[in-house]
Amino acid sequence: MSLFPIFVKLHGRLVVVVGGGEIAAGKIDGLLRADAKVRLIAPDVHPSVAEPIHNGKIEWIARKFQPNDLSGATLAIAATSAPGVNAEVYREAEARGILCNAVDDIENCHFYYGSIVHRGDLQIAISTNGKSPALAQRLRQELEQQFGPEYEMWLEWLGAARELLRAADGGTENNKQRLHHLASKPMYERFVKEVSKVPARRGVNGKVHLVGAGPGDPELLTLKAARLLANADVVFYDALVSREVLSMISHDAELIDVGKRAGRKLLTQDEINSLLVSYAKENKIVIRLKGGDPLLFGRAGEEMEALRLAQLDFEIVPGITAAVGAAAGARISLTDRRLASQVLFTTFSRGETGHLSDGGLNWAAITPETTIAIYMPGTHYGEVAERLIENGLSRETPCVVVSQATRAEQQIRWSTIALLGNETQLPAPSLLIVGRVASHAKAQSFENWGGCSRRTALQSDAAHELRFAEAQQN
């Protein structure tokens, strides 16, 4: 008789096990791993079964089997040493339309247990239709050598990659080709090579990964970042990381919020450095997750210095920086051969005196062809505008504020330096782009992209046309 191979979801489903000896104990372990609801029928139980009974994982009815014990069951397992009892369980299951397995009793089985290779979510089941369990065991041992423990982590990585591609609008056929490529042998070998660089988990320090979370959209994470988040032991994250990205972190990982909100720091930088070192020395995979790219305004230099002094291994996983995310959200180019030939990334901060500081910015290097990307422009756009005007920028210079770039909550405000102080403050994280390219969005302005008012668009349109014409002539 030919068998139909399937993998069954037993989460929350009732499975009745008859028999409380060592045979039953082996079957119960697998059922609990599958999150099945187990009902055990036996007058006495083996010590190995006592612990899950005590912890409430198993319902134990301490008596001999009765037909009504199968009420509501999805499967039945007859695991006694009494052939007559096993046959009785099988007959009752047959009458109720319930599939039954009587251990080592082919005649009283609707299904057989396969010999299983477990590698996390990867399961390879072997069946000989009950004719040679010994052969199944030998094949299992051979497959365990062929498919090593690294397959568990690789499958986690493949799963994360599949979710990212499914969420992206890449087309079904295109995604299918990519997924087949990612699951190919060369990609497996490349993955194993990367994993081999990670220190062994026992007796050797762990590794710290400084990972860029991008501007917020989880689809913009790199595949490497997604893999690391799926396998992390502990993740230190800042306030700029979106909820959607945080949801991709392994459920088993410890999450530690080290963000700064409304000017209040949860931890100082020295405390963060100490925690990174401490957790890495506990042989853990440590992620320092930063909004945007970790190497821009993220104090990565201080963290790397602390890790070097502690002689700990680390790596940088780049992310899409906020300025690029904001420009993409606003549908503008940070450079344009007609308008802007250079880009300046900067941030303003407020000192202890409350005075707005530009961090020693070289204003003389800024020309009309410079696009300025100001990270974290703060709560008072007017002060930023005043500082720009004080240092020689024209009041008519276009600018755009992008809030929560690339996320569903993204908002955009088109303006000029002169009008910037009148704009309503947008939620953090936000970024201010200043320069000619910020006016090169006429189409978007008339379509009211991101909440830009039609009045503001009309006010700036005439000036934009004049500046654009001048740029073409030059």
Greatest Cα pair distance, the chain, in angstroms, is 99
Tokens of 85: 């009892």
pTM: 0.54
Same domain for 312 and 222: yes
- The whole-number pLDDT of residue 37 equals 94
- The whole-number pLDDT of residue 350 equals 65
CATH number at residue 383: 3.30.950.10
Could you give the CA distance from residue 105 to residue 93 in angstroms, rounded to a whole number?
15
Residue 130 lies in a domain: no
Contact 425, 387 (CB under 8 A): no
Any residues with CB less than 8 A from the CB of 422 and at least 6 apart, and which? 415
Same domain for 396 and 298: no
CATH number at residue 309: 3.40.1010.10
Residue 81 lies in a domain: yes
Contact 290, 210 (CB under 8 A): yes
Confidence label for 355 from pLDDT (cuts 50, 70 and 90): low
* Full residue range of the structural domain in which residue 164 is found: 149-197
Same domain for 305 and 329: no
Contact 183, 159 (CB under 8 A): no
Residue 4 lies in a domain: no
Same domain for 370 and 342: yes
Measure the CA angle with vertex 206, ends 204 and 208; round to 5°.
150
What mean pLDDT do residues 381-406 have? 91
The total number of residues shown for the chain amounts to 474
Residue 19's CB is within 10 A of a number of other CB atoms, namely 28
Contact 132, 107 (CB under 8 A): no
What mean pLDDT do residues 173-184 have? 83
Residue 374 lies in a domain: yes
Same domain for 346 and 291: no
Is 179 or 447 the better-scoring residue by pLDDT? 179
What mean pLDDT do residues 222-233 have? 88
Same domain for 355 and 300: no
- Give residue 238's Cα distance to chain centre: 15
Same domain for 391 and 379: yes
Tokens of 441: 């969005």
Could you give the CA distance from residue 259 to residue 254 in angstroms, rounded to a whole number?
15
Tokens of 200: 């062994």
Measure the CA angle with vertex 78, ends 134 and 131; round to 5°.
25
DSSP class of 171: -
| Rounded alpha-carbon distances, angstroms, from residue 277 to 138, 201, 234, 235, 427 | 45, 16, 12, 13, 33
pLDDT at 31 over 80: yes
List the beta bridge partners of residue 259: none
Same domain for 426 and 353: yes
Could you give the CA distance from residue 164 to residue 176 in angstroms, rounded to a whole number?
13
Same domain for 191 and 90: no
Same domain for 434 and 294: no
Same domain for 435 and 347: yes
Radius of gyration for the chain, computed over Cα atoms and rounded to the nearest angstrom: 31
Residue 384 lies in a domain: yes
Could you give the CA distance from residue 109 to residue 99 in angstroms, rounded to a whole number?
8
- The predicted-structure confidence for 92-112, as pLDDT tens digits, reads as follows 999 999 999 998 888 899 998
What is the set of active-site residues?
238, 260
Could you give the CA distance from residue 454 to residue 411 in angstroms, rounded to a whole number?
15
Contact 296, 214 (CB under 8 A): no
Burial (Cβ within 10 Å: 0-12, 13-18, ≥19) of residue 417? buried
Confidence label for 277 from pLDDT (cuts 50, 70 and 90): very high
* Whether residue 377 has a cis bond before it, omega within 30° of 0: no
Could you give the CA distance from residue 275 to residue 265 in angstroms, rounded to a whole number?
15
Please report the beta strands in 259-383, taking only residues with DSSP state E, as ranges in sequence order. 260-261, 264-265, 285-290, 313-317, 342-347, 349-350, 356-357, 370-375
Domain count, the chain: 4
At 314, the amino acid letter reads F
Residue 22's CB is within 10 A of a number of other CB atoms, namely 13
pLDDT at 208 over 90: yes
Residue labelled with tokens 């936000």: 430
Is 134 or 405 the better-scoring residue by pLDDT? 405
pLDDT at 207 over 80: yes
Confidence label for 85 from pLDDT (cuts 50, 70 and 90): very high
- The whole-number pLDDT of residue 354 equals 58
Contact 201, 283 (CB under 8 A): yes
Residue labelled with tokens 């046959």: 87
Tokens of 439: 């006016």
Least Cα distance to 227 among 200, 186, 205, 198 occurs for 198
What mean pLDDT do residues 415-426 have? 91
Mean pLDDT of the chain: 83
Which residue among 282, 303, 320 closes a domain?
Answer: 320
Is 254 or 113 the better-scoring residue by pLDDT? 254
